[in-house]
Amino acid sequence: MEIEEKRKHDISLFQQSRVSSMENMLTAISHHWRQPLNFLAILLENIQEEYEYNELTEELLRDMTNKGLKAISSLSNTIE
């Protein structure tokens, strides 16, 4: 009986360790994603403002689009 209880306890500790590891991994990923997502939000707001003030040129739009695509690529690389 004591061996069975120890085995159950070991399994429980292992499962708790796994959950803790997953939580740490998700925290690290969310921290890594936060800055690029904030950058993309600001970039989209800038595009909208430039458009509203009739200052959105084709060159500016391409530049902002390229910056946004680089940020998205960085996020994509995080999960590969």
User: Helices 58-78 and 2-52, interaxial angle, to 10°?
Assistant: 180
Residue 31 pLDDT: 86
Domain that holds residue 72: 2-78
DSSP 3-state assignment of 26? helix
The count of domains in the chain is 1
The answer to whether 78 and 31 are in contact (CB under 8 A) is no
H helices present in 1-80, as ranges: 2-52, 58-78
Residue 29 pLDDT: 86
Q: What is the amino acid identity at position 17?
A: S
Residue 79 pLDDT: 78
Mean pLDDT by groups of 10 residues along the chain of 80 residues: 88 93 91 92 98 97 98 87
Dihedral (CA of 31, 34, 35, 36) sign? positive
